[in-house]
Amino acid sequence: MKCPHCKDKDLVMSERKGVEIDYCPECRGIWLDKGELDKILDRSREEEGRDQPQGYSNGPSGHHPTYGHKPYKKRKSFFEELFD
């Protein structure tokens, strides 16, 4: 299949966690078939729940001051394994 953006480049198919992802090596565009985005989101939510230790709460603990801001934590992306 050709890249819808580049028009002349062939898409490369990659499978990650049971989801087939087509991407363009030229423009790095990602193209998904119907339902694949829903699969990615579902699996991402499942992994998010597993990363959290049992009994852990997302709410404030009261033990650590926040100094008026929330700590920043980068979320892991499903696509981190696909692209550098």
pTM of the model: 0.49
Give the Cα separation of 46 and 40 in Å (integer): 10
Q: Which residue has the higher pLDDT, 49 or 1?
A: 1
pLDDT, tens only, 26-60: 999 998 888 888 888 888 887 766 655 555 555 55
Give the Cα separation of 37 and 23 in Å (integer): 14
Place of tokens 């009994």: 55
Q: What is the CA radius of gyration of the chain?
A: 18
Phi, psi of 72 (to 5 degrees): -95, 130
38 to 13, 33, 81: CA distances (angstroms)? 18, 10, 18
